[in-house]
Amino acid sequence: MRRVIFNQKGGVGKSSITVNLAAVSANQGLKTLVLDLDPQCNATQYLLGEVAEYAPNKPELQPNIGQFFAQTLSLKGREKPLLEYVHPTPFENLHVIPSNPELGEIEHLLQSKHKIYKLAAALKALGSQYDNIFIDTPPAFNFYTLSALIASERCLIPFDCDAFSRRALYTLMDNVAETKADHNADLEVEGVIVNQFQPRASLPMQLVAELKEEGLPIMDTHLASSVVMKESHQKSMPLVYLAPQHKLAEQYVALFGELRE
């Protein structure tokens, strides 16, 4: 199953959700791939640690997704399949295709050359290799996000409980619906993931209840806010490995259990 985690707003936990759901999948014995399309490379660094950190005087981690897209612009030589861009992680059954901070530099060329379906074709060719593929996207509705939506079967939308996020959510749903109508008839919004949830606060409870009444596909499992997530980032270790008995780790396991095949 190919899933994209999509939100145009930054700081809503896209990378954390992507990596931790993928880690639960891998931990349950499913061969799982994370594809990082965000130039910030957060998902890549979360899984690979220091080796994936980018610095001016440090060589970039290769091969990466930027090189995959760059090769599609060239008419010379054989295009390498996406499988050749996959890196192992320290965790069994879990692999990653790293991002690249320079993705933005070739975006306009990819758009002008109408390469919007390249990723979908490449991921479909990978289908037999992986049980689950999770795609992290940049905080914008751009070429890479649209490519991911076209390449996916399911869409998960992280949501913070505030009025600004609520207004943005309707736009997100419209973007997915438009992509489904124009490019990918198989695409479905699998669910809206409530993140940084405070169950004792009245406003988040009221907001979630109203969204459910409107018929939005709110996932039953809500993700709490916890400092253990920062520790997880620092140690480059998803929660199911770092602290499997922690409440937030258990919430990710429950959330993964809600996902449909």
Based on C-alpha coordinates, what's the Rg of the chain? 18
Rounded to whole angstroms, what are the CA distances from 59 to 7, 55, 99? 30, 8, 14
Q: Is the pLDDT of residue 153 over 70?
A: yes
Reduced to 3 states, what is the DSSP secondary structure of residue 3?
strand
- Confidence at residue 261, expressed as pLDDT on a 0 to 100 scale: 62
In the block, residue with structure tokens 């396991």 = 253
**Is the Cα dihedral 134, 207, 210, 7 positive or negative?**
negative
* For range 190-204, the mean pLDDT: 84
The pTM score is 0.95
CATH number for the domain including 10?
A: 3.40.50.300
Residue-wise pLDDT tens digits, 77-110: 678 999 999 999 999 999 999 999 989 999 999 9
Reduced to 3 states, what is the DSSP secondary structure of residue 147?
helix
Q: How many domains does the chain have?
A: 1
- Confidence at residue 77, expressed as pLDDT on a 0 to 100 scale: 66
- Confidence at residue 250, expressed as pLDDT on a 0 to 100 scale: 98
- Give 70-136 as a DSSP string: HHHT--SSPPPPGGGG-EE-SSTTEEEE---TTHHHHHHHHHHTT-TTHHHHHHHHHGGG-SEEEEE
Q: Is the pLDDT of residue 156 over 80?
A: yes
Residue-wise pLDDT tens digits, 101-134: 989 999 999 999 999 999 999 999 997 899 999 9
Number of other CB atoms surrounding residue 220 within 10 Å = 11
Residue-wise pLDDT tens digits, 237-246: 999 999 999 9
Q: d(Cα 187, Cα 190) in Å, to the nearest integer?
A: 9
Interstrand relation of 188-195 and 32-36 (parallel, antiparallel or unpaired)? unpaired
Q: Is the pLDDT of residue 47 over 70?
A: yes
Q: d(Cα 131, Cα 28) in Å, to the nearest integer?
A: 11
- Confidence at residue 98, expressed as pLDDT on a 0 to 100 scale: 98
| Containing structural domain, residue 97 | 2-258
- Confidence at residue 59, expressed as pLDDT on a 0 to 100 scale: 82
